[in-house]
Amino acid sequence: MLYNAYEIQRSLLAGASAMANFSAGLLNNPANPFAYFGGGPVLGSALEVFAHASAPRGKPEFGLDNTLVDGRLVDVHEEIVLRKPFGQLKHFKRDGVEGGPKLLIVAPMSGHYATLLRGTVERMLPGHDVYITDWRDAKLVPLADGKFDLDDYIDYIIEFLAFIGKDGDPRPHMLAVCQPSVPCFAAAALMSADKHPNRPRTLTMMGGPIDTREAPTAVNTLATERPHSWFEQNVIATIPMTYPGAGRKVYPGFLQLAGFMTMNLGNHMISHWEMFKHLVQGDGEGAEATMRFYEEYRSVCDMTAEFYLQTIDTVFQDHSLPKGTMTHRGRLVDAGAITDIAVLAIEGEKDDISGIGQTKAALTLSTALPKKMKQYYLAADVGHYGIFNGSKWRNRIAPVVDEWIARHNG
């Protein structure tokens, strides 16, 4: 019933958005005399803000057509090099550029598409051969394709690393943003224990919940103050018949978005108020920056119920990884097996999703890793989103990642 109710609301808002967009265009039309006096500009701007906020959204494009390599502009082409039911491995091929450290960027499966890391990919492209995990929207995956849980996520990471390392340098580098820090660290431990030839050379984790007992945030508190049964009964929905994944149980992306919006409701309201003022003043460029951010932020997708619930149990309630009790298909994940994967932990001083110390815990868990292969970086005055996007990421954090990869690249 929850998903059906949402679909009805979405359909109604889509119509209202289209009508508001049409009306805004009419009121802002230079040929319309009301566009120059009275309440015309104000009403038109208000309708434009509403139309943008309520419009339905699909999967965004990366749109990274070129990059600068050694001062030379080169074309970039997206290639899907490996397809799996719940995700695909995407390669950003730089025309005429060979070599460079191979880098797997692991995007979070947390309600947003991999394009949320567009800024991350864009910054790493000039000096690295970049791949990214492009997770699928669970509502588009038929039931016949089976389930997808945290164990499957780890399997995908290992398979992707093996695929990237099969040609040329057998040991790529790996960068995990937020949620995938746990499965990426687990994959690194399992591959190390097996002496897997394609285990990563470096593992960089940014704002990840390795040990959520450290400086717990509102997200952590929400995940711990309620039992497993509450999440199963209140946030899990069934995909309606209008989608290929009909009948699949999921944690809907629209619920994840609602949760994040509620956490910082005041900031989001101020952002939209500023966008409204820019539009009234005729400052299209100022309003466009806010629109671009929310265009991406409101593009959400569903994740499978089994993945979501297993993550709640393993990461947030049982703290299995830091306690040394996490298993993968019945096999213990031994962080002490990591001996030759250089680990970099990055945190944001103002991160309200993953508190200070949660990612850094990975360095303590890596007991057999030499000190010279561990590094911690605390980004001052940086929030969760700023760790991997924006000017602070590009100018302060990314250079640390660049240097770390270069130092341990063979």
User: Given this model, what pLDDT does residue 45 score?
Assistant: 46
Print the SS3 string covering 129-169. Answer: EEEEEEECCHHHCCHHHCCCCHHHHHHHHHHHHHHHCCCCC
Query: DSSP of 381-409, one letter per residue?
Result: T--TGGGTSSHHIIIIIHHHHHHHHHHT-
Question: Does residue 71 sit in helix, strand or coil?
Answer: coil
Provide the pLDDT for residue 4. 56
| pLDDT tens digits, one per residue of 59-75 | 788 999 999 999 999 99
Of the candidates 255, 236, 365, the residue with the CA atom closest to the CA atom of residue 309: 236
pLDDT of 54: 45
What pTM, to 2 d.p., does this model score?
A: 0.82
Structure tokens at 270: 């101020």
- Cα–Cα distances in angstroms (integers) from residue 277 to residues 26, 45, 73, 351, in the given order: 19, 8, 37, 28
Which of 5-9, 64-68, 191-195 is predicted with the least confidence, judged by mean pLDDT?
Answer: 5-9
**In the structure, what pLDDT confidence band is assigned to residue 106 with cuts at 50, 70 and 90?**
very high
Question: What confidence category does residue 186 fall into, taking pLDDT thresholds of 50, 70 and 90?
Answer: very high
* Least confident window among 34-38, 78-82, 268-272, 379-383: 268-272
Q: Which residues contact 175 (CB under 8 A, 6 or more apart)?
A: 103, 104, 105, 106, 120, 124, 204, 206, 401
How much is the mean pLDDT over the chain?
A: 83
For the chain, list the domains and their CATH numbers. Answer: 2-56+253-297 (no CATH), 66-222+303-407 (3.40.50.1820)
Kindly give, in sequence order, each residue whose CB lies less than 8 Å from that of residue 7, ignoring residues fewer than 6 positions away: 240, 242
The pLDDT score that the predictor gives to residue 46 is 43
pLDDT at 51: 43
Region of poorest pLDDT, from 173-177, 261-265, 343-347:
261-265
